Structure 1
Amino acid sequence: MHSFFSAEHLSSLLLQYGYGAIGVVVMLESMGLPLPAETLLIGSALFCATTHKLSIAGVMIAGVTGAIMGDNFGYLIGRRLGLKLLQKHGPKIGLTSERLLLGRYVFFQYGGPVVFLGRFVAVLRMFVALLAGANHMPWHTFLWYNALGGVCWAGGYTLCTYLLGNEIFKLSGPLAIVAGCCAVIVIGTSFLFLKKNEKRLTEEALKAAEQNEHLRIPSA
Structure 2
Amino acid sequence: MHVQEWLDTVPPTAVYALVALVIGLESLGIPLPGEIVLISAALMSSHHSGINPIVLGACATAGAVIGDSIGYAIGRKGGRPLLAWLGNKFPKHFSEGHVATAERSFEKWGMWAVFFGRFVALLRIFAGPLAGVLHMPYWKFLTANVLGGICWAGGTTAVIYYVGIVAEDWLKRFSYLGLVAAVLIGLASMLIVKRRAKKTQTAEREAEPVNAGE
Q: What TM-score, normalized to structure 2?
A: 0.69
Percent identity for Structure 1 against Structure 2: 34
Whole-angstrom CA distance in 2 between matches of 1:89 and 1:60? 29
SS in 2 for 1:35: coil
CA drift of 1:170 comes to 4.1
Alignment pair present for 1:64 and 2:67: no
Whole-angstrom CA distance in 1 between matches of 2:44 and 2:50? 8
Give the match for residue 53 of structure 1.
50
Of 10, 13, 37, 1:13 maps to 10
Whole-angstrom CA distance in 1 between matches of 2:84 and 2:42? 43
Kindly provide the CA deviation profile for residues 128-148 of structure 1, in whole angstroms up to 9, marking residues without a partner as x.
211111111111111111111
Kindly provide the CA deviation profile for residues 94-144 of structure 1, in whole angstroms up to 9, marking residues without a partner as x.
x8xxxx9xx978734522222122111222211221111111111111111
Q: Would the alpha carbon gap of residues 52 and 79 (structure 1) be closer, same or farther in structure 2, given more than 3 Å must change? A: same
Give the match for residue 214 of structure 1.
none
Contact 1:19 1:62 (8 Å CA) reproduced = yes
Kindly provide the CA deviation profile for residues 163-201 of structure 1, in whole angstroms up to 9, marking residues without a partner as x.
0013775466457646754675577569869969xx9xx
Q: Would the alpha carbon gap of residues 187 and 22 (structure 1) be closer, same or farther in structure 2, given more than 3 Å must change? A: same
Q: Would the alpha carbon gap of residues 170 and 106 (structure 1) be closer, same or farther in structure 2, given more than 3 Å must change? A: closer
CA drift of 1:22 comes to 1.9
Give the match for residue 74 of structure 2.
77
Contact 1:31 1:73 (8 Å CA) reproduced = yes
Give the match for residue 121 of structure 1.
120
Whole-angstrom CA distance in 1 between matches of 2:187 and 2:110? 20
Contact 1:108 1:137 (8 Å CA) reproduced = no
Whole-angstrom CA distance in 2 between matches of 1:154 and 1:17? 18
Give the match for residue 164 of structure 1.
163
- Mapping of residues 94-109 of structure 1, within 5 Å: 107-109=106-108
Whole-angstrom CA distance in 2 between matches of 1:58 and 1:49? 13
Equivalences, count: 188
Q: Would the alpha carbon gap of residues 130 and 14 (structure 1) be closer, same or farther in structure 2, given more than 3 Å must change? A: farther
Give the match for residue 42 of structure 1.
39
Alignment pair present for 1:141 and 2:136: no
Which amino acid is the alignment partner of residue 35 of structure 1? L
Gaps of 5+ in 2: 88-95, 165-170, 208-214
Contact 2:122 2:190 (8 Å CA) reproduced = no
Whole-angstrom CA distance in 1 between matches of 2:21 and 2:106? 28
Which amino acid is the alignment partner of residue 76 of structure 1? A
Q: CA-atom RMSD, angstroms? A: 3.7
SS in 1 for 2:22: helix
Q: Would the alpha carbon gap of residues 50 and 34 (structure 1) be closer, same or farther in structure 2, given more than 3 Å must change? A: same
Whole-angstrom CA distance in 2 between matches of 1:86 and 1:27? 19
Gaps of 5+ in 1: 200-220
Contact 2:76 2:132 (8 Å CA) reproduced = yes
Give the match for residue 31 of structure 1.
28
